Amino acid sequence: MNKLIFSSTTAGLLPADDHTREYMERVEAGTLFEAKPLSKKKTRRNILNNYSHAIYRDAARMLGENTMMGEKAYCKFNYGIPVLLSDPVYGERYQEYFDLAFRGLSYEEKLQMLEFEGQMEIRVTSLMDDEQMSKYLTDILNHYAINKGIAILTPAEREFIKYPESASG
């Protein structure tokens, strides 16, 4: 299995639970860590990620103004980054990260950077914990409903609308 080596200086930019983050804060700056990637399993986080991609896809389809990746970039920049910056513990570190990533770029160029996937990808939602991700999803759903006039529904909500009589039984 592949190994991942990272420094405690950049560890705050990796998704981790609170216990791991607290430990990383206590070790000497620059300490190297070795981690083994775990096999992927269906977690609540995977469900939230899948839902976010369904929102981007549905918004692009319903609005016809942008691609799915364009909607994803727009949401990450306008709603995801503010969620991370409001983090009471890591907000300043995230501010430094995004300042470096976006230095000198126009708004359009920043969105283009967020559309890019690969080794140079600028991470936003993958840095969030479940609570932050839930806030992000609520914020973007509210954006589409209030600012764009579209309701993006879950499959369960679509089914309920299709067969409302099933709710009374």
pLDDT band with cut points at 50, 70 and 90 for residue 10: low
Average pLDDT score over the chain: 81
Percent of the residues in the chain that have a pLDDT greater than 70, as a whole number: 69
Give the mean pLDDT of 45-60. Answer: 90
Whether the per-residue pLDDT at 1 is higher than 50: the answer is no
Angle at 83 between CA 151 and CA 107, to 5 degrees: 80
Percent of the chain residues past pLDDT 90, beyond the cut: 50
Model confidence at 139, pLDDT cuts 50, 70, 90, reads: very high
- In the predicted model, is pLDDT for residue 165 greater than 90? no
List Cβ neighbours of 95 (8 Å cut-off, separation of 6 or more).
85
Residues 7-24, buried b or exposed e (16+ Cβ, 10 A)? Answer: ebeebbbbebeeeebeeb
pLDDT of 63 > 90? The answer is: yes
Write out the two tokens for 103. Answer: 């230095």
